[in-house]
Amino acid sequence: MTQKNNPWETDLPQEVGDVVAKKLKNISPFKVAHLGGAKNDSGGLLKLSALALLLLWLGSGFYQLQPSEEGVVLRFGKYVETTSAGLHYHLPYPIEKVIKVNVTQERSINLGVEENMTQNRFSNRSSVALNSFTESHMLTGDENIVDINLTVVWKIKNAKDYLFNVKSPDVTVRVAAQSVLREIVGQSEMQPIITGDRSKVEDETKTELQKLMDDFGAGILIVRVKLQKADPPKQVVDAFNEVQRAKADQERFKNEAEAYRNEVLPKAKGEAVKRLQEAEAYKEAVINKAKGDAERFMSVYHAYQGGKEVTATRLYLETMENVIKKSKTTIVDPSAKGANVLPILEVK
């Protein structure tokens, strides 16, 4: 039986031996051919104990990463590599150590909530607290003050940058979010922020905050930004509500006036068109009647020129017919005595 003089020649799996040998080979204190031979003597038990302790020490370098984790390997405090989910090995402490970072966990910060709670806690004890402004109070572009509560949800995008590029990630995200939000609110009017589409403020805040985190190299990904509250300060909320009600009444009156105008104008335009059409019809009727009378007169005139006596007699008879037709007096021709006509008394 061959004696094992090299302590690294153990019964560990070949893969583990290769990993351990590769790790030790990269470090100068371990660049040795072997640890020295060992004689098969009565002190073998002590050496076997030392070998067991050494194997336990080497075995402590195995570590398991979950799918949600990344491992940052440090060698004597200096960054070496970032490992992903699975079983890995690093040189045991104090040579190397691994910092496990959860890169899928969503973290959140709230702007304005904690300060408001503190203010409410001491509101009964100090009138100064009621009049003080917190980080939730921001000046808008139209020189109004708005009370905003903002929630920022973020997670780790790069474990190395997250651990080494920023000292306090939570504080960094909070301060940066407050700065970006103040800038965006300062460029906006109060009305859209409070009663309008808040998604615009949320989207702009998320975009600018992510850009700022990338400039810092913080290794942070901004997942979403949500405005929890956007109201006027409590000190002026009653006056603001009065203004809002007045604006609502103004809008209502304006809509009613628009509806009335939309109802009256078409009717007036229709009536005007009707009157114009009636006037045009009357004009045409008068003109046509005048033309007809003129043509009739001309025809009578031409007939009169052709036969003056006949025409005069006909005109006389037509005229008398029209006159007698409208009279209540009955005239009987005396020559009609032999006819079947009932005689009546002579009218005097």
> For residue 142, which phi and psi values (nearest 5 degrees)?
-95, 25
Greater pLDDT, 289 or 229: 289
Q: What pLDDT, in 10s, does the model give residues 179-221? A: 998 888 888 887 778 777 778 888 899 999 999 999 989 999 9
Helices of type H across 141-198: 159-164, 169-186, 190-195
Query: What is the pairing mode between strands 220-231 and 137-139?
Result: unpaired
Helices of type H across the chain: 14-25, 44-59, 113-121, 127-131, 159-164, 169-186, 190-195, 199-216, 237-306, 308-325
Q: What is the mean pLDDT of residues 103-108?
A: 89
Q: What pLDDT, in 10s, does the model give residues 126-142? A: 333 333 446 678 878 77
- This prediction's pTM: 0.53
Q: Report yes or no: 87 and 69 within 8 Å, Cβ to Cβ.
A: no
Q: Which domains does the chain have, with CATH numbers?
A: 14-102 (no CATH), 107-232 (3.30.479.30)
pLDDT at 4: 39
Report the distance separating Cα 21 and Cα 61, nearest Å.
Answer: 13
Q: What is the mean pLDDT of residues 167-184?
A: 90
Please report, rounded to a whole number, the percentage of residues in the chain having pLDDT higher than 90.
15
Tokens coding 295: 């043509």
CA R_g for the chain: 55
Report the distance separating Cα 91 and Cα 27, nearest Å.
Answer: 10
pLDDT class of 45 with cuts at 50, 70, 90: confident
Report the distance separating Cα 198 and Cα 230, nearest Å.
Answer: 9
